[in-house]
Amino acid sequence: MPIIVDEVVISVEVTNQASGGKASAPSSTDDKQSIVAECVERVLDILAQREER
């Protein structure tokens, strides 16, 4: 029986704690949009790979 997902909620927190730095928000809206676009692109790539299987 196939499972159909109607909604996917993705939450991302970007931090630099591994190098000892504190998390800071990007300085401009363009930076935020580029990060979100990159995340969306990677998620869509992963979903496309899963569909191919």
For residue 47, being part of any structural domain is answered with: yes
Q: What is the pLDDT of residue 20?
A: 58
For residue 3, being part of any structural domain is answered with: no
For residue 36, being part of any structural domain is answered with: yes
For residue 4, being part of any structural domain is answered with: no
Tens digit of pLDDT for each residue in 1-53? 777 777 778 887 776 666 555 555 546 777 888 888 889 899 999 898 888 77
pTM: 0.46
For residue 22, being part of any structural domain is answered with: no
For residue 45, being part of any structural domain is answered with: yes
Residues 49, 41: contact at Cβ < 8 Å?
A: no
Q: Which residues make Cβ contacts (< 8 Å) with residue 22, sequence separation at least 6? A: 15, 16
Query: Which strand (E) or helix (H) includes residue 29?
Result: helix 29-52
Q: What is the pLDDT of residue 19?
A: 59
Range of the domain at 40: 27-52
Q: How far apart are CA 42 and CA 30, in angstroms?
A: 18
For residue 40, being part of any structural domain is answered with: yes
For residue 11, being part of any structural domain is answered with: no
Total domain count for the chain? 1
